[in-house]
Amino acid sequence: MVQFNHTQREITLKIVFYGPALSGKTTNLQMLHKFLDPGSRGRLLTLDTADDRTLFFDLLPVFFKTAHGFKIRLKLFTVPGQVMHNSTRRVVLTGADGIIFVADSQRKEARANTEAWRGMMDNLKQIGMDPADIPIAVQFNKRDLPGIRSDEEIERLREKSREPIFPAVAVRGDGVLETLYALLKLTYRNLDSRHGIEDKFGLSERAFLRAIFKNVRKPDGTDVVNLGSGEDSAGSDEDSVASDDDERQTENAPRTGDA
């Protein structure tokens, strides 16, 4: 659950990557770890068993500061996908502020996706969270493989879906930032409607997203903040380009080990 620290001017959010075993949840975290500036992230904690499936969970803590010195911390978790780890999944889901559901695009995994989705809904209810209250973004990963659901099928799902859907090739980093960006935008809006973040802290949606994504570049050099929505592009009052340099120095202070 979101934690506010008024005196420290700090907000902490928990984001969970959920999905069937081997859909690419850990890979998403590994790519985020790679894309983020070392000053903005802690260590990526992954607990892998020999067969390459997550035993407990992975955790990547990340830290940002807005131009006005407001601190944003994100705790990015993955759940273990295998059937037998359902109790761990519930523990990890508890208190989530937003969920990225990583589905496997391969046709042969369609059922595993559906089962994981249903399991997630059940788990949310069991821990007392209404699935309708929590922002969810869906990622269809492994778009590079043969035997996947076609783009047209994904498009049809998108039309029916309440959640936004993003294609990805997480091993190459494609779609990873786009999915996180969309989820964080939904998460901000959800929290703002419940807790009035903008009024209470003067933290606008734009400042929130910009603090997180301004130093993140995709491997091809594209700026993530401008992805998908023009409204977040540069050039406003709040986060002047001039203030970015100062801020960056503060953000590069070591924060490793801080989870």
Q: Which residues bind ligand GDP (CB under 6 A)?
A: 19, 21-27, 52-54, 78, 81, 141-142, 144-145, 169-171
**Lookup: tokens for 3:** 């934690």
- Compute how many other C-beta atoms are within 10 angstroms of the C-beta atom of residue 189: 13
Q: Which of 54, 141, 179, 187 binds Mg ion (CB under 5 A)?
A: 54
Minimal distance in Å, beta carbon 22 to Mg ion?
8
**Best CA proximity match to 214, nearest among 179, 248, 166:** 248
Q: Does 141 bind Mg ion (CB under 5 A)?
A: no
Q: What residues from 22 to 51 belong to the interface with Mg ion (CB under 5 A)?
A: 25-26
Residue 179 binding target from ligand GDP, Mg ion, none, CB below 5 to 8 Å by type = none
Minimal distance in Å, beta carbon 258 to ligand GDP?
24
Closer residue to ligand GDP, CB minimum distance, 14 or 65: 14
Minimal distance in Å, beta carbon 104 to ligand GDP?
8
Distance, in Å, from the CA atom of 151 to the CA atom of 105, rounded to the nearest integer, reads: 10
At 126, give phi and psi (nearest 5°). -65, -30
Q: Which residues, in sequence order, are CB contacts of 176 under 8 Å at separation 6+?
A: 28, 31, 32, 35, 139, 168, 170
Closer residue to ligand GDP, CB minimum distance, 21 or 211: 21
**Best CA proximity match to 208, nearest among 176, 177, 185, 190:** 185
Beta bridge partners of 75: 14, 61
Minimal distance in Å, beta carbon 170 to Mg ion?
11
Minimal distance in Å, beta carbon 47 to ligand GDP?
11
Residue 141 binding target from ligand GDP, Mg ion, none, CB below 5 to 8 Å by type = ligand GDP
Residue 22 binding target from Mg ion, ligand GDP, none, CB below 5 to 8 Å by type = ligand GDP
State which H helix or E strand residue 5 sits in. strand 3-5
Closer residue to ligand GDP, CB minimum distance, 32 or 191: 32
3-class secondary-structure state, position 148: strand
